[in-house]
């Protein structure tokens, strides 16, 4: 099967090498919850499984949306909601993550991969939206 791969920008290629290094060194979580702490570590342990190491998304019978340069990430509450509660095929991740971890990974994704959203979210914002 042929998978269409979106062409990568030169700038993002640089990031691939650093992100792969990060996962190489990462151990796995022991127990049922994610133990990664930083947004970067969490992205590369969870999100890149579907959205890919460079956040470029992927296409098969369906698709995974690119998070790179994605204007939808402008609305922080939307991103928090998606990570916490899921939507469609995307699983709710709040069962595995603390509010702090969700805030970290949301902030990381909104400020990397060509996204430059400067408003930062915190655990309290997550708490309101995740509705545990």
Partner 1 sequence: MYQAMTSLGFAAESSQPGVLKLDGVKKGATVLVLGAGLAGMTSAYELRKAGYKVKILEFNGKAGGRCWTLRGGDSYTELGGATQQCKFADGNYINPGPWRVPYHHHHVMSYINEFNIAIEPFIQVNYNALVHNTKAFNGKPQRYREVQADYQGYTAELLGKVLNQHGLDETLTHEDREKLFESLRHWGALTDKADYKKSYEVSLRRGFAIPPGGGLSPKPEPSELLDRSALLQSELWKYIVNGQDIEFQSSIFQPVGGMDNIAKAFEKRVGDLIEYHAKVTQINQSDKGVTVNYEQQGVAKTAQADWCVCTIPLSILSQIPVQASSGMQAAIRSLPYAASVKVGLEFKRRFWEQDEAIYGGVSYTNLPITNISYPSTKFCDKGKGVLLGAYVWGANAFEFTSLAPEERVKKAVEYGKQIHPQYAEEFDNGIAVGWHRVPWTQGCYGLWTEEKRAEHYENLCQVDGRLVLAGEHASNLPAWQEGAISSAHDAIKRLHHKAVSTAA
User: How far is residue 33 from each of residues 29, 63, 96, 98, 130, measured CA to CA in Å?
Assistant: 7, 27, 4, 9, 16
Binder among 18, 21, 59, 75 for partner 1 (CB under 8 A): 59
Q: Which of 10, 17, 61, 131 binds partner 1 (CB under 8 A)?
A: 61
Q: Rule CB under 8 A: which of 88-127 touch partner 1?
A: 88-92, 96
The DSSP string of 4-31 is: --PPPPHHHHHHHHHHHHHHHH-----S
List binders of partner 1 among 74-93 (CB under 8 A): 86-92
Does 18 engage in binding with partner 1 (CB under 8 A)?
no
* C-alpha to C-alpha distance for 2 and 73, rounded to whole angstroms: 29
Residues near partner 1 (CB under 8 A) are 1-3, 5, 20, 23-24, 26, 28-34, 44-50, 52-53, 58-64, 86-92, 96
């Amino acid at each position: 099967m042929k998978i269409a791969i979106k062409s990568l920008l030169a700038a993002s290629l640089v990031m691939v090498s650093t992100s792969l290094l990060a996962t190489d060194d990462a151990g796995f979580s022991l127990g049922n919850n994610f133990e990664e702490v930083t947004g970067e570590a969490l992205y590369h342990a969870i999100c890149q499984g579907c959205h890919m190491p460079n956040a470029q998304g992927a296409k098969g019978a369906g698709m995974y949306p690119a998070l790179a340069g994605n204007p939808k990430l402008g609305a922080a509450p939307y991103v928090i909601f998606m990570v916490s509660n899921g939507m469609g095929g995307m699983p709710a991740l709040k069962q595995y993550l603390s509010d702090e971890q969700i805030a970290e990974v949301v902030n990381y994704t909104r400020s990397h991969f060509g996204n430059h959203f400067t408003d930062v979210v915190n655990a309290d914002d997550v708490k309101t939206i995740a509705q545990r």
